[in-house]
Amino acid sequence: MKIGFIGAGNMGQPIAGRLVQAGHDVTVYNRTRAHAELIAGAKVADTPAHAATDAEIVMTMLSDDVAVEAVVEGPDGFARAMPEGSLHICSSTISVALSARLAKLHLETGRNYIGAPVFGRPAMAAEGKLTIVAAGPDAQLDRAQPIFDAIGQRSFRFGNEPEKAHLIKLSGNFLLAATVESLAEAFALVRKAGISPEAYLDFLSDSLFASPATKTYGEMIAKGLFTQEAGFKLSLALKDCRLVLDAADNEGVPMPVASLVHDQMLGAIGRGYANLDFVGLARVAEENAGLEARGRA
């Protein structure tokens, strides 16, 4: 398939690379052109509209609502440059409201749209082991399935309203953030008591608490790996926490834990940790416990 791919950041680069490896004809646009040029086998576009001109599918992997709106509807946006009948797959983590508006926009202009955000870190994207949550018309989900197969280990469908996929993504990111905050507090407690964080991780990873999230994030916390290149920056995690709280307000659902995690993230960013991986919440827990903070650059 001819694919226009918009966004060659930490996640976009390996995802676009997987699509090239799967034999698709991929044209990439990124605001910083050099990032797009790193994707072997892909063509590089000068504008989002250029990337979409001949595309059967346009895929966006961007950081927030503002970035997505700019490439879709901005001066060089692709909303009307992509061929009629083509499909926009939005894999960015965006607000429920924007996803619903994009669905309406594309429908009115004779194009198609689905929401298909992903779970997984950049290394998983490079290995084609992402988890995809998708929603939209069945025919368009079927059309996108070869892309899902190229980048993920499993895809889940959540009905025909694209914005529901983005709600699932936000709910999942909230659960991950709450897990990281809980792990951060628990590790600070046992470390303050003189217990080896590595031994504690071994217990968590092979007991009632075993899960991919515990293993991945628990290992980062146990080893103090906060300053490595962030797979998911605290600043972006805070953005997602705000979006899930907005969605909860809209649905009339109290989320007190989400509010707590939001404030912990805000406090971490206030301490200058915006560019740490969101596991950097553990540094705040360590500092609050009077422990020597690890992982300083």
Give the residue numbers annotated as catalytic, written as ranges.
Answer: 169
Residue 122 tokens, joined: 């950049």
271: Cβ contacts below 8 Å, ≥ 6 apart: 284, 287
Report, in this order, helix, strand and coil percent for the chain, each rounded to 5: 55, 15, 35
Residue 90 tokens, joined: 């939005």
Amino acid in position 177: A
Cα gap 114→94, rounded to integer Å: 13
Which string of DSSP letters, residue by residue, matches 124-160?
HHHTT-EEEEEBS-HHHHHHHHHHHHHHEEEEEE--S
Of the candidates 114, 45, 38, the residue with the CA atom closest to the CA atom of residue 77: 45
